[in-house]
Amino acid sequence: MKIATAVPQTPAEARALIRDGKFRRTTAGVAPGHAQANLAILPKDLAFDFLLFCQRNPKPCPILEVVEAGKTEPRLVAPGADLRYDLPKYRVYRHGKLEAEVDDLGEQWRGDLVSFLLGCSFSFENAMMNSGIELRHVQRGTNVSMYITNIQTTPAGVFSGPMVVSMRPIPHEKVVKAVQVTSRYPSVHGAPVHVGDPAAIGIRDIAKPDFGDVTEIRDSEVPVFWACGVTPQAVAMKSKPALMITHAPGHMFITDKRDEDYAVI
């Protein structure tokens, strides 16, 4: 099968290539300017608790859309799309353990599954780069550094646990701008949760991220921390649901929405 190498420029083009099995790579840089989403799929009996958890913790769990049980089309953010086929790669977890990585959900799908699309940091990263703030992990093509903090999320039903944050080194003179720019996007993680001291939020060693790659911090820079979309996955997994399906890391769902649609002002 021929695998496309050019980066698709529109959401519809990207999803069509994915559905046809011609694009199985990470979605970074795909359909620039359009919001991408984390996917979390859970059985209906956990849906109220998880929706409430997201509502109580909007910074790490910003909901873009919830697709009700039995439905697979995210009508609000990508009419015509099908969540079973339109992501490049999925992970299937049973009782909190990774069972398989799959290309589509044709076999796994059940009528009682509720799908959550959650905002992704690509949106505010684009906004920062558009404002002239360079992001080292993007420039180097590495994964952003992520850390488990001592900031507790607000529990809901069976879901609870610490917040996971991502860290980006920001030059001193651009910290205010970075706060301002990301504050415009509360639906996609929004303003930082912390600026400056890793120890203040329970991070012992900034050189040892819990997820992702190490990122160099220069003397002229401040580590700035944002709530991370890994949080809801980590929290959900902790409750060991009988079945949970997510996107594979970096293999996001590409919506028709523009990043700018999520700007509050």
Q: Which stretch binds a second copy (CB under 8 A): 19-27, 161-169, 177-185, 199-207?
A: 177-185
Nearer to a second copy, 184 or 194 (CB): 184
- Candidates 72, 183, 243, 249; binder of a second copy (CB under 8 A) is 183
Instruction: Scan residues 188-207 and list those touching a second copy (CB under 8 A).
Output: 190
Instruction: Scan residues 125-154 and list those touching a second copy (CB under 8 A).
Output: 154
In the chain, where does DSSP find H-type helix? 11-19, 47-56, 122-130, 136-140, 175-183, 230-238
Query: With binding defined as CB under 8 A, does residue 156 bind a second copy?
Result: yes
**Is the separation of the CB atoms in 165 and 225 below 8 Å?**
yes
Nearer to a second copy, 209 or 232 (CB): 232
**Is the separation of the CB atoms in 169 and 216 below 8 Å?**
yes
Nearer to a second copy, 206 or 263 (CB): 263
As measured in angstroms, the least distance from the Cβ of 72 to a second copy is: 16
Output the CA torsion 209→212→214→215 (10° steps): -110
Nearer to a second copy, 52 or 102 (CB): 52
Sequence-separated (6 or more) residues with CB below 8 Å from residue 151: 162, 163, 165, 193, 201, 202
Q: Which stretch binds a second copy (CB under 8 A): 35-43, 87-95, 100-108, 179-187?
A: 179-187
Binding-residue total with a second copy (CB under 8 A): 20
Query: With binding defined as CB under 8 A, does residue 79 bind a second copy?
Result: no
Query: With binding defined as CB under 8 A, does residue 240 bind a second copy?
Result: no
Beta bridge partners of 97: 94
**For residue 59, which of 201, 172, 249 has the smallest C-alpha distance?**
201
As measured in angstroms, the least distance from the Cβ of 10 to a second copy is: 24
DSSP 68: P
Instruction: Scan residues 19-78 and list those touching a second copy (CB under 8 A).
Output: 47-48, 51-52, 55-56, 63, 66, 68, 76
In 105-250, where does DSSP find H-type helix? 122-130, 136-140, 175-183, 230-238
Nearer to a second copy, 50 or 147 (CB): 50
- Candidates 1, 97, 173, 265; binder of a second copy (CB under 8 A) is 265
**Number of CB atoms found within 10 A of residue 127's CB:** 20
DSSP three-state, residue 102: strand
Q: Write down how long the chain is.
A: 265
Measured CA distances, 111 to 49, 83, 89, 265 (Å)? 19, 13, 21, 39
As measured in angstroms, the least distance from the Cβ of 208 to a second copy is: 33
Positions in the binding site for a second copy (CB under 8 A): 47-48, 51-52, 55-56, 63, 66, 68, 76, 154, 156-157, 180, 183-184, 186, 190, 264-265
